[in-house]
Amino acid sequence: CLEHSDRAAEALTILRDRARIEPRDAKVLLRLGQMLRRQKKADEAIVFIDQALLLDDQDPSTHLEMGMTLIDLARMHEAEAPLRTAVRLARDWHTARLSLAVLLARLRRWDEAEPLFRQLRKKQPFNLQVLGNLAQVLLEQKRFGEVCELVEPELEKAPDDVGLRMALLNAHQGVRRSSEAVEMARAWTEDQPDSAPAWGALARALSGLHDPEADAAAARLLEIEPESAATFETMGLVAMGLGRYPEALDWFDKGLTLAPEAQSLRVNRAFALQEIGSPEGESLTALQKVVEAEPESPAARMNLALTLLRVGKFQRGWTEYEARDSAVRGQSALVLSQPRAAPRPDLSGAVVSVRCEQGMGDTIQFLRYVPRIAADCREVLLCIQDSLAWMAFGLAPNLRVFGYRDPLPHADHSIALLSLPGWYGTDADSIPCKVPYLRPDPDRIRYWRARLGSEGFRIGITWHTNPLHGNVRRWIPLSLLAQLSVLPGVRLISLQKHHGLDQIEALHPSQRVEVLGAEFDEGPNAFADTAAVIENLDLVISIDTSTAHLAGALGRPVWTMLPFNSDWRWLLDREDSPWYPSLRLFRQTTPGDWETVATALQQRLEKVLSGDSPVIWPTTETAGTW
């Protein structure tokens, strides 16, 4: 009664006195341990619970409490045994089974957690806690369609359940149905105009699309719930989504004053620091602290990995990068049927399945490892995006190529494509960089050679990406790039297929950009025509997108324009790339400053046209010329 009356200190004193009077009463020791754990004193609680177990090891409540206390102490793997004992001693005890299922989910053992949740759901079909946990397990496995089928009918019965709404929103965003996610969040705000979670969901969904309307939704959230760490975190996420990183940092700092142990706030703060300035300084330190505090956090480890790789600390970077299978979302995210073997096993005589993942640029960049692993094993089963399958044929004689939906034969080992650098201990000096390792169809090359003609200095350009991919800061206005067309003899040829083409019509009459027509890359094979066109160009100038990777993999000259805080693979303060010998980098010196980049491009191109510089110039004294 005292504890329930907010007089916990008095309650604790009474229990301590009772434990001293009756030191061999297991129930008293258990009650004392329970109360200490509720008061966030798990390290002291475990002593009394352990004593209770020594006196009575047949009480399922004591085993359950031991498991929960070990979880509070972040000793997750140790917690499994007492929770399983509690389930064994009380087979129909819902709380024990649910606690075990939640633990297995936190340990990312989905194949064990899922059936437990489904069994619990059969017995208690209206238990929203079980339903929400099951939905989360499916989300973690990227089974977004199943989440929608599971949650949508139940949400009609429980429209006020925040967890179910968030699960459905995450499922929509997982399959990149961002517009549906926005509409669902907007409908939620209309149903519940004073709901802070609803406005927070809308603000985050809009910021994911970099929509300025996110500010208005965030402002409404702040009005409803002005002194909340969750509100401050959402405000920061919106600021980041709209490219205002210093402002985002301020919001995350405010959130941490209210919730100093909140890991998501710490992760996001470190990410904002990373976007603002030097990742070698405060950002790296902040991320390392986050991972030390919560080593099971995939998002924290993923961000730490990207920072480590960016500063060239490859060995630890590849290790931490393995967390991406839980951190990366979307249909191309990684789901392996079996974990990667570490360290690399003896592959001689083995069949190894390799699964491509994430974006097309990632696949293009890391296909270079397929010949290497093929040389080490009997056969490679490569599972690749259907539209990129043409790139893989010819990489190795003992390679079989499968689409994402194709059933795979048995393999002795499975690995994700982007895990191969870590498997081989890749550092900046051992990157396989022999180019070209991709080769276009010769017939297409001849066709486009005739179409393009040989007149002028032919430059293929890309300036835009799919807005749904969230790469807004990588875009450069076409008008800045198109000014290169006024240089004598220069022909600018658009390599864009869909997005950003409307900017061509808005160009000044003096600026000319050629388009390749509706037939360009119209077939099912992505980049098949792009690759053939690139083979017939003198130069490619591209933002950080798949086209830059393709040109580099083909060994063709490519100048890549990077935002101020660029992707990890381009490292820091370099104008070349160890991944692609034929690539040179043009970096923003301040966030959003594409004018300086465009000026540097023009100055270098003028030197190339006058014969004062090769198209790929040496970046070291020992480097050769292109």
CA distance 495 to 540: 9
If you count DSSP H runs as helices and E runs as strands, how many of each does the chain have, helices first? 30, 10
625 pLDDT exceeds 70?
no
Note the pTM of the prediction, 2 decimals.
Answer: 0.75
CA distance 395 to 364: 12
pLDDT, averaged across the chain: 89
CA distance 41 to 47: 11
Percentage of the chain modeled with pLDDT above 90: 60
State residue 73 phi and psi, 5-degree precision.
-90, 10
Q: Which of 9-13, 221-225, 409-413 has the lowest mean pLDDT?
A: 9-13
Inter-residue contact 369 to 421 (CB < 8 Å) = yes
341 pLDDT exceeds 50?
no
pLDDT score of 277: 65
Q: Is 407 left (phi over 0), alpha (psi -120 to 50) or beta?
A: beta
Inter-residue contact 309 to 568 (CB < 8 Å) = yes
| pLDDT tens sequence across 434-492 | 999 999 999 999 999 999 999 999 999 999 987 666 577 889 999 999 999 999 999 99
Displacement of CA 559 from its chain's centroid (Å) = 26
| Helix extents (H) in 90-213 | 94-106, 110-123, 128-140, 144-157, 162-174, 178-191, 196-208
Work out the angle between the directed axes of helices 214-224 and 229-241 (0-180°, nearest 10).
170
554 pLDDT exceeds 70?
yes
337 pLDDT exceeds 50?
no
Give the SS3 label for residue 138.
helix
339 pLDDT exceeds 60?
no
pLDDT band for position 214 (cuts 50, 70, 90)? very high
| pLDDT tens sequence across 164-206 | 888 888 887 766 667 778 888 898 899 889 999 999 999 998 9
Residues in a beta bridge with 493: 460, 514
pLDDT band for position 273 (cuts 50, 70, 90)? confident
| pLDDT tens sequence across 154-168 | 877 887 788 888 888
pLDDT score of 164: 85
Give, in order, the Cα–Cα distances in Å from 570 to each of 311, 475, 477, 564, 576. Answer: 10, 17, 22, 12, 8
DSSP output for 432-462: ---S------HHHHHHHHHHH-S-SEEEEEE
Residues in a beta bridge with 379: 351
